[in-house]
Each structure stands twice: as structure tokens, then as C-alpha cells.
Structure 1
């Protein structure tokens, strides 16, 4: 950097960019789960648009949400909703908002399969 380029003042520094990921194909029809969800810690960073399942098995984690997995046996094998924002759940459980209805771009969702599409009856996928 040439110090005289900015009259001796520091330059603009490093430029960072952030990508905005929109998973909704339309904002006309959408609804979020009232009260949101409690995400179970330990999964790391979940991306906006992750399909979530709810743990229904007895224990301390009952009724917490984790990424939908049709091979699971703890209740999370049933898709319930779609995460509204990125969430870092590496260290602790956190609350988050999630959609239960809307028109979604299926190419931008994480964990979506034909079983999840069938269960998420208020969601449309394009």
C-alpha cells in the first residue's frame, strides 16, 4: 500500500463479503412455528434452510430440534419445520425461528428429500 495514496491516513483495509441465502421462493404464503424451536447443542453450525426434526424419545433432549434424518429412531426421522436463520449450536442449546409453511426453493434447502416433502404438508417446493 502506498502511504501517500490516502493522504497518510490508513487505507480501507480488508473487504469482507457476506452471501445472503434466501430459501423462500415467494414471501406471499409463509408461517413460522409459534414460539420457535429449541435447537439441541452439539451439531455445529446449521445453515438457514436446514430441515429439522423434533426429538420425541424420552430423556433430557426430548422436544429439542436437530437436523431431520430419516434413518434416525429418536423422532427426528420426521420432518417438522425449516430453519429460518443460520445457528451455531456448537456450545449450547439455542432458540431459533422456523417455518412450518411457505413456498421454498428446494435447491437451497439442506436435508430435503421426498419423505420430508410429503410430511411438510403446508410447504410447497419449486
Structure 2
């Protein structure tokens, strides 16, 4: 890679590519959880479209799992952007209502579909 001189001024930085993942099947009839969620540390990168559950003891959210016993076995919302929880708790926004493409969601099962009463899945 050849470096170019920009007269001592910053030049273009590295180029990154990103895949855009749209989980909404429609932009109509959508709503987000007021105030967002606090994702619990230690769950790595949580992908957009992940179904989330709320841990009863801490009030923090983590990926929904029907086999959990900490509160996260109840689906509450769907994450709307990738977030890295590897090193710290992190705030995020999440949908509580909308029309979603089931093939783009992570962790969605029959119980989650039932719990997410304001969500429609196509």
C-alpha cells in the first residue's frame, strides 16, 4: 500500500466494509422500548436482530434463551444494532413492536413469538 502526502494534513483513513442487515420487513408500525436497554457485559458481540430477555436480578438485558432461569427466558424486545458487550455493559435501543423478517432474527422461537405480542413475523 502506498502512502500519499497530503501536505501534513490527515488523509483518508482505512476503508472498511460493512454488511447492512435489515430485520424489519416494513418500516410501518414500529416502536422502540422507551429509554432503551442496558446490555449485560460478557455476551460478546450481540447482533442486530437478536431477541433479548431481561435478567431479573440486575435489570440488564442479554440474548434470550428459553432454557435460562435468570429471567432472560422471557423474550422482551429485539436489538436494533450490533453491540459489543465483551468488556462492559452498554446501552442500546431495541424494538418492542414491528413487522420483522424471521430469517434475519437470532434466537426467535415459538415461545418468543408468543411473548413479543406487539411484533409480527413474516
State the TM-score, normalizing by the size of structure 1: 0.85
Q: How does 1:78-93 map to 2 (within 5 A)?
A: 78-93=74-89
Q: How does 1:82-121 map to 2 (within 5 A)?
A: 82-121=78-117
2 CA distance for matches of 1:16 and 1:98?
25
> How much does 1:18 deviate?
1.3
Count of residues in correspondence between the two structures: 115
Residue 65 in 1 paired to residue 61 in 2? yes
> How much does 1:17 deviate?
2.3
Gaps of 5+ in 1: 4-8
State the TM-score, normalizing by the size of structure 2: 0.88
1 CA distance for matches of 2:51 and 2:70?
16
The C-alpha deviation readout for 1:61-97, integer Å capped at 9, x for no partner, is x100000000000000000000010000000001000
1 CA distance for matches of 2:79 and 2:52?
7
Aligned match of 1:32: 32
> How much does 1:15 deviate?
5.5
1 CA distance for matches of 2:89 and 2:66?
22
1 CA distance for matches of 2:59 and 2:17?
36
Indicate the SS of the match to 1:102.
Answer: strand
2 CA distance for matches of 1:119 and 1:16?
37
2 CA distance for matches of 1:27 and 1:88?
25
The C-alpha deviation readout for 1:31-65, integer Å capped at 9, x for no partner, is 00000000000010000000000001x3xxx1000
